[in-house]
Amino acid sequence: MSDPIKVLVTGAAGQIAYSLLFNVAKGNIFGPDTPISLVLLDIQPMMPVLEGVVMELKDCALPLLKEITSTADTDVGFKDIDVALLVGAMPRREGMERKDLLASNVKIFKSQGQALDKYAKKSVKVVVVGNPANTNALICMKYAPSIPPQNFSALTRLDQNRAQYQIANKCGVSAHDVHNVIIWGNHSSTQYPDISHATVKLSSGTKSVKDAVKDDKYLKNDFLKCVQERGAAVIKARKLSSAMSAAKAICDHVHDWWHGVPKGNYVSMAVCSDGSYGIEKGLMFSFPVTTHSDHTYEIVKDLAIDDFSRSKLDITLKELLDERDLALSVCE
């Protein structure tokens, strides 16, 4: 076996982490031969709860789990980590405005960026989950200047998974039969779930999603609305934000970033823009990416963007620019 990968999970006593930690420690993300050293970080009032989570992890008797560190000390939590899963944040409650959530959380991610810069390995891979995820990732990246910008990402895989299921359900197939659905932009209700380049495997062969569904009105209206507003719908039903599905999406995101995806396939990740598709350079924007076995990714280039899609990209771009400006004003 190789040396253990040191994985930090923040908000480790919370709902998402409770579904996530077993999958990390079991080998479902980094592989069945990769030992794991888990670092669990949460705020001091959550330490008694976190103690119970640690007990359960130990009781699972997982052979790959070599070490567990639980702490409320940021200096300890970020020391020499290989992967940072930044889950912890103030959760969005029913009726909460997004700007209020941003103001509450952005200072948390400023301090975590500073901790990454000071303590983490310079090769650390960072996934921001706490909302507003794109802008929190941007702030985290800004305050960790010694770590390459391409090492930072925010989670939009949950939105991709939601979109895949809706298309699969419409076509009567498995979600695994739907490929290359794209989430552009922000992890918010302005995101653009794009099926323009997606395919679906049917019993009669592989077709474009547009040809398989044969309902443009649905694809441009109800489908978009369902995916864009799914998070709010879950909150309305559960009175809590998505947890199980968010944990699954984190696993998918990190697994594919770590191991790569098959040639011809791409996945959605919010990453630092290089200027592609007219998106301002340096903005944390969800793009279609291809990932490789050396833990790198590339933004998929030169996909055709029609007028409808461009209008949707412009809407989510404006929101992200506004969020960035607000976040920087809070930080500074």
DSSP states of 94-135 as a string? TT--HHHHHHHHHHHHHHHHHHHHHHS-TT-EEEE-SSSHHH
Q: Is 92 one of the annotated binding-site residues? A: yes
| CATH annotation of 5-154 | 3.40.50.720
> Which phi and psi angles does 82 have, rounded to 5°?
-95, -35
pLDDT in tens, 50-81: 999 999 999 999 999 999 999 999 999 999 99
pLDDT of 332 reads: 81
CA distance 174 to 167: 9
Tokens, residue 252: 């998918």
For residues 264 and 288, is the Cβ–Cβ distance under 8 A?
no
pLDDT (mean) for 156-183:
98
Q: Is 134 one of the annotated binding-site residues? A: no
Q: Is 131 one of the annotated binding-site residues? A: yes
Confidence band, pLDDT 50/70/90 cuts, at residue 104: confident
Report cis status (omega within 30 of 0) of the bond before 45: no
Residue given tokens 């924007």 in the structure block: 285
Largest CA distance in the chain: 58
pLDDT in tens, 222-263: 999 999 999 989 989 998 889 999 999 999 999 999 999 999
Calculate the alpha carbon distances from 193 to 4, 76, 202, 225 in Å: 37, 39, 21, 9
Task: Tell me how long the chain is.
Answer: 332
- Give, in degrees to the nearest 5, the angle at Cα 161 between 230 and 197: 110
pTM of the model: 0.96
CA distance 32 to 54: 21
Confidence band, pLDDT 50/70/90 cuts, at residue 103: confident
Confidence band, pLDDT 50/70/90 cuts, at residue 93: low
pLDDT in tens, 9-63: 999 999 999 999 999 999 999 999 999 999 999 999 999 999 999 999 999 999 9
% of the chain beyond a pLDDT of 90:
90
Can 187 be counted among the known catalytic residues? yes
On the question of a common fold for 5-154 and 156-327, the answer reads: no
Cα atoms in the 13 Å half-sphere on the side-chain side of 257: 24
pLDDT exceeds cutoff 80 at 94: no
- 275-284, long-range: CB within 8 Å, 24+ apart, which pairs? 276/301, 277/303, 277/305, 277/313, 278/313, 279/313, 279/317, 280/317, 280/321, 282/149, 283/138, 283/317, 283/320, 283/321, 283/324, 284/134, 284/135, 284/137, 284/138, 284/141, 284/152, 284/154, 284/320
- The identity of residue 211, as a single letter, is D
Q: Is 129 one of the annotated binding-site residues? A: yes
Catalytic residue among 179, 187, 197, 255: 187
3-state DSSP assignment of residue 79:
coil
pLDDT exceeds cutoff 80 at 158: yes
pLDDT of 1 reads: 65
Confidence band, pLDDT 50/70/90 cuts, at residue 152: very high
pLDDT of 90 reads: 80
- DSSP E strands in the chain: the ranges are 5-10, 36-41, 65-71, 83-86, 125-128, 152-154, 178-179, 182-184, 192-194, 199-202, 205-208, 267-272, 284-291, 297-299
pLDDT of 81 reads: 98
For residues 180 and 208, is the Cβ–Cβ distance under 8 A?
no
pLDDT exceeds cutoff 70 at 92: no
pLDDT of 278 reads: 97
Fold of 156-327: L-2-Hydroxyisocaproate Dehydrogenase; Chain A, domain 2 (3.90.110)
pLDDT of 98 reads: 67
**Domain edges within the chain:** 5-154, 156-327
pLDDT exceeds cutoff 90 at 99: no
Average pLDDT of the chain to the nearest whole number: 95
